[in-house]
Amino acid sequence: MKKEYLLTPGPTPVPDAVRLAEAQPIIHHRTAEHAEIFRRVSENLKLIFKTKNVVLTFASSGTGAMEGAIINTLSQGDKALVIRGGKFGERWAEICEVYGVRVIPVDVEWGDTAKPQVIEDCLNKEPDIKAVFTTLCETSTGTLSPIKEYGEIIKKRDNTLLVVDAISGLGACDIEVDNWNVDICVSGSQKGLMLPPGLAFASVNEKTWKFAETSNLPKYYFDWKKAKKSLETKGQTPYTPAISLVIALDQSLKMLKEEGIDNVLKRHNRLADATRAGIKALGLELLSKYPANAVTAVKVPDGIDGLELKKILDNKYGVKVAGGQAHLKGKIFRIAHLGYMGTFDIITAISAVEMTLKDMGHPVEIGKGVKSAEEILRG
Amino acid sequence: MKKEYLLTPGPTPVPDAVRLAEAQPIIHHRTAEHAEIFRRVSENLKLIFKTKNVVLTFASSGTGAMEGAIINTLSQGDKALVIRGGKFGERWAEICEVYGVRVIPVDVEWGDTAKPQVIEDCLNKEPDIKAVFTTLCETSTGTLSPIKEYGEIIKKRDNTLLVVDAISGLGACDIEVDNWNVDICVSGSQKGLMLPPGLAFASVNEKTWKFAETSNLPKYYFDWKKAKKSLETKGQTPYTPAISLVIALDQSLKMLKEEGIDNVLKRHNRLADATRAGIKALGLELLSKYPANAVTAVKVPDGIDGLELKKILDNKYGVKVAGGQAHLKGKIFRIAHLGYMGTFDIITAISAVEMTLKDMGHPVEIGKGVKSAEEILRG
């Protein structure tokens, strides 16, 4: 028996109560029973996004909501500023390019993020930029972006939207969609919402719906106006929803609501702090200049083979962490503290890392990382 | 305690073993463990589609695969022949129009289908038609189309694809994708495959990939070339798959394989025959000229309020059937014999219908429909 521990930034562990909700007998989606559930999850999602505006739900992975954010607001030839400091920033640019949206990139080193002043300068130079695309937590580097500061800049511009990928960030890193002037915020189910993958979300404000009126990019399955209308008039989706996942979402939102979203965020902050302390106590370095509370990216120390480290963590200890992507492959590993996680998930992670490093002959004092983590986790 | 019976043409009942598979602890999708499962389901799906070609799986509802069939093969201004005899035929046309594909409609009465000769004449008249879009079973009317005959016509034309929506048909109505020269066949999870909704499928042949080379319609999430490459090289999907549904699919395909696809089809034929016999014995008429084995559409008899009939079936007897859509609302009701269904689901359906009609004062001999159904179900 090899007991396994999933410590990846998506999918994240799904609580038993959520898995059992998902396994309930299926119900029909054009019924009052389903409409009641769908309206309730749509309302409860607003608490997580901290918005009064509509939150749409789609049967797709998070990328579907990213594509939706572009095709429902922009037109061919429009200019979009895209902040790229990792794989998911790059994805915004890739989707824009597919649709003939002109990308103005702001490239930063992986692990860094764009200074608000840089964004403001770009917008001043090219005032016809229609949207700024960024990430709350760039999953590939564990980096937090200053969304609130971006919002301060963009809110003054009627012709520019702030669009945030909060796929791995939501429910772990604070985002106040309305107070911070985020026009579109997209997310997915398999992260802070403690569900399997298969649902995507988008909070959409009034400013955005004005853009939707003029957008001429083609859309059908991801047509947001249709989704809004169907939700508001009937408590439904235009096309068959992923019913079992919606029912599971109802359960996970109930749990998050009971804990309270700000307590959920505090828990993530505590777990992230403990992880960072444990890692540093082992003499390792973090990749990110602005570490997010969803996932911690750790530089593989010199002389250690990062792929081998990940393999030992998995094969010997049953601990699944994520590796590095693109040019960071083998150079970093990433420990998630995201979703259904508590004190001993962090102890497990740090303990596994220190034992593995010792196994690999790295000069590390085992127990030292766990001790540092415990000091924070007790508090 | 109100015991409920789901007899709708999607979602269909999900077997316990499938629901429990769906509720297993989540695993990561970029692992050998998931790749093994994903490769296995992709192979087993070929048995259901009766194809040697690739079958792609997407996290979306069936409509996502319909959109994919258009955007991965056609270009703006291309001509498409669309057979419209119900809601889902109409959907093909709607999606084409969104993308600037010129629709040449072949409209038939709801409950009817297009004669192969009509299709041949159209193609002779407009030989630059790039694709013919149709449905195996038009869910809104329970009508079967002569796909094999369409295939005979279209296979001779290198510049025309045959694209079939088998969303409700697959696993209930026979379709031999390769032998019948179907170029693209799309389906969804919540019908004959006995799963919750949330997965869409597309079988794609070599002729189609040639169209994909020249197609210039924009696509990202539903990019089929990327999906094929990811499956074939890594046993993965480009974006996070709906992992719990994929694991459930592995279980449902195991069950269908054990029964044998041709036995599955025979079972559906027997259940459909019994349903039709039971309905006719009650003096009711079928809507469709070519009734499909997935769902039976029944005309509401004169003097009976169809919406009220559906309500009594549901509220008094706990039996959920589907009503009519669009102009058939209140005029028909639809009984599914689709997916995880057997003898007593049909007995339940016919029994509920005869009791309800009696309740409503319709001159019906109760027991007579059940008797006729039993005569077939025994055989």
Q: What is the pLDDT of residue B372?
A: 98
CA-based nearest residue in chain B for residue A11: B28
> Does the structure show a pLDDT above 90 at B2?
no
Q: Which B positions 21-50 lie with beta carbon below 8 A of chain A?
A: 22-29, 31
Give the residue-averaged pLDDT of B322-327. Answer: 96
DSSP A346-359: HHHHHHHHHHHHHH
Question: Could you tell me if A6 and A321 are in contact, meaning their C-beta atoms sit under 8 angstroms apart?
Answer: no
pLDDT digits (tens, 9 = 90+) for B27-77: 999 999 999 999 999 999 999 999 999 999 999 999 999 999 999 999 999
All domains of chain B in start order, with CATH: 5-10+261-378 (3.90.1150.10), 16-258 (3.40.640.10)
CA-based nearest residue in chain A for residue B10: A28
Q: Does A239 touch chain B (CB under 8 A)?
A: yes
Which residues of A fall within a CB distance of 8 Å from B10? 240
Q: What is the pLDDT of residue B5?
A: 97
| 3-state DSSP assignment of residue A261 | helix
Which residues of A fall within a CB distance of 8 Å from B12? 26
Question: Could you tell me if B275 and B343 are in contact, meaning their C-beta atoms sit under 8 angstroms apart?
Answer: no
Cross-chain Cβ contact A240/B8 below 8 Å: no
Q: Does A245 touch chain B (CB under 8 A)?
A: yes
Reference A287, options A279, A277, A275, A299; nearest CA is A299
Q: What is the pLDDT of residue B1?
A: 85
Q: Does B1 touch chain A (CB under 8 A)?
A: no
Instruction: Report the percentage of chain B scoring pLDDT > 70.
Output: 100
Q: What is the pLDDT of residue A228?
A: 98
**A-B interface: how many C-beta pairs under 8 angstroms?**
166
Chosen for mutation from A60, A187, A243, A313 (greatest number of chain B CBs closer than 10 Å) is A60
Q: Does B171 touch chain A (CB under 8 A)?
A: no
**Which of B13, B29, B221 minimises the CB distance to A67?**
B221
Which residues of B fall within a CB distance of 8 Å from A12? 26
Cross-chain Cβ contact B13/A29 below 8 Å: no
Q: What is the pLDDT of residue A60?
A: 98
Q: Does A240 touch chain B (CB under 8 A)?
A: yes
B11: preceding bond cis by omega (within 30 degrees): yes
pLDDT digits (tens, 9 = 90+) for A306-328: 999 999 999 999 999 999 999 99
> Does the structure show a pLDDT above 90 at B322?
yes
Q: Does A190 touch chain B (CB under 8 A)?
A: yes
**Which of B11, B60, B240 minimises the CB distance to A197?**
B240
Instruction: Report the percentage of chain B scoring pLDDT > 90.
Output: 99
pTM, to two decimals: 0.97
Q: Does B339 touch chain A (CB under 8 A)?
A: no
Q: What is the pLDDT of residue A267?
A: 98
Reference A290, options A144, A181, A76; nearest CA is A144
Please report which confidence band the pLDDT of residue B169 belongs to, taking 50, 70 and 90 as the band edges: very high
pLDDT digits (tens, 9 = 90+) for B72-123: 999 999 999 999 999 999 999 999 999 999 999 999 999 999 999 999 999 9
CA-based nearest residue in chain B for residue A20: B23
Give the residue-averaged pLDDT of B3-10. Answer: 96
pLDDT digits (tens, 9 = 90+) for B238-278: 999 999 999 999 999 999 999 999 999 999 999 999 999 99
CA-based nearest residue in chain A for residue B221: A64
Q: What is the pLDDT of residue B379?
A: 83
Q: What is the pLDDT of residue B331?
A: 98
Q: Does B323 touch chain A (CB under 8 A)?
A: no
Give the residue-averaged pLDDT of B149-169. Answer: 98
Q: Which residues of chain A have pLDDT under 70?
A: none
**Which of B218, B242, B320 minimises the CB distance to A198?**
B242
Q: How many CB atoms lie within 10 A of CB A376?
A: 18
A320 CA: distance to closest CA in chain B (Å): 9
β pairing state of B137-138 and B143-144: antiparallel
B111 CA: distance to closest CA in chain A (Å): 22
Q: What is the pLDDT of residue A351?
A: 98
For residue A277, CA distances in Å to A144, A339, A350, B79 come to: 18, 20, 10, 62
Q: What is the pLDDT of residue A282?
A: 98
Q: What is the pLDDT of residue B193?
A: 98
Cross-chain Cβ contact A6/B19 below 8 Å: no
Give the residue-averaged pLDDT of B4-23. Answer: 98
